[in-house]
Structure 1
Amino acid sequence: MPLDPRITMVTLGVADVAASTAFYERLGFEKSSASQESVTFLKLKGTVLGLFGRADLAEDAGVEDSEPGFSGVTLAHNLSSEAEVDAAFEHALSCGAKPVKRPEKVFWGGYSGYFADPDGHLWELAFNPFAPNDENGFMLLPE
């Protein structure tokens, strides 16, 4: 199952979610109502910018925050089902990706896993039942 060449979301691991959210709102970015105290979702054209505590992002990816190579940034590719996540994960591994965290049900109610590309950049493959993809594969966030 080749991956559709798109990025659904870029997540930045930040020191202070509230301060970073305020900064991006001042820049003119619009926060989704799906945002919570621990995570902010900002709607961009065709993708989403996530703001998440850096240590929390490392924990979610299954890596150490201090691990060499962890940049505090992850790229996400959202899919339409858990089965699609599993198939995409296996495809990535067959292409030479390093497994970081095998897909599993996660605390926020979805299903996700992480792999690293040859340079260690982290990709999340996710199924989010609360923010489905539109017909173009872009993540739909509530206003």
Structure 2
Amino acid sequence: MTLQPRISMITLGVADVAVSTAFYQKLGFKRSSASNDNVTFFHMRGTVLGLFGRDALAADAGLEPTRPQAFEGTALAHNLASRDEVDKAWAFAVKCGAKPVKKPHEAFWGGYSGYFADPDGHLWELAHNPFMDLDEDGHMTLPE
């Protein structure tokens, strides 16, 4: 057996599920009715984003909870069709309460990107990659 290369769900450990849920709803994410006070699920065009208490997520994995670091070594990316869309999305996220981390700029790899953090410090990159097309659902298409 092998694993199919896909991610069905991304779960973020958060300090306060209600606060984080409100933030993502301000961004425009649609909360699923499967959510409750302990976990929130958002529809994400082929993937689900889950918000779960950080300590509860550690316990579920059989790990001791740790305090978040300034940088956890992970960033979620949202690719957009143009630099203008990146600028507008970044400004909107900051208006919704995101912490500005790095203002959109010309990236060393030839694209355009910027970063913001959610209330728990989870990094989101907003990017325009002129070398990768987006399909009709906004997913990146990689060359074979």
How does the TM-score come out when normalised to structure 2? 0.54
Residue-by-residue CA offset, 1:54-107 (whole Å, 9 max, x unaligned): xxxxxxxxxxxxx93311110000000000000000000000000000000111
In structure 1, give the amino acid aligned to 2:112.
Y
Identify the residue that residue 96 of structure 2 maps to in structure 1.
95
Identify the residue that residue 115 of structure 2 maps to in structure 1.
114
Identify the residue that residue 140 of structure 1 maps to in structure 2.
141
Q: Distance in 1 between matches of 2:82 and 2:4?
A: 33
1:72 aligns with 2:73: yes
Gap regions ≥5 residues in structure 1: 1-25, 30-45, 48-66
After the TM superposition, list the runs of 4 or more consecutive aligned residues in structure 1 that deviate by more than 6 angstroms: none
More contact order relative to length (CA 8 Å, sep ≥ 6)? 1
SS at match of 1:142: coil
Identify the residue that residue 130 of structure 2 maps to in structure 1.
129
Identify the residue that residue 41 of structure 1 maps to in structure 2.
none
Return the offset for 1:28: 6.3
The CA RMSD measured in Å over matched residues stands at 2.3
SS at match of 1:96: coil
SS at match of 2:136: coil
Q: Distance in 1 between matches of 2:70 and 2:116?
A: 13
Q: Distance in 2 between matches of 1:28 and 1:108?
A: 29
Q: Distance in 2 between matches of 1:75 and 1:112?
A: 12
Q: Distance in 2 between matches of 1:110 and 1:138?
A: 17
Return the offset for 1:111: 0.1
Q: Distance in 2 between matches of 1:102 and 1:27?
A: 37
In structure 2, give the amino acid aligned to 1:99.
P
Q: Distance in 2 between matches of 1:98 and 1:132?
A: 28
SS at match of 1:130: coil
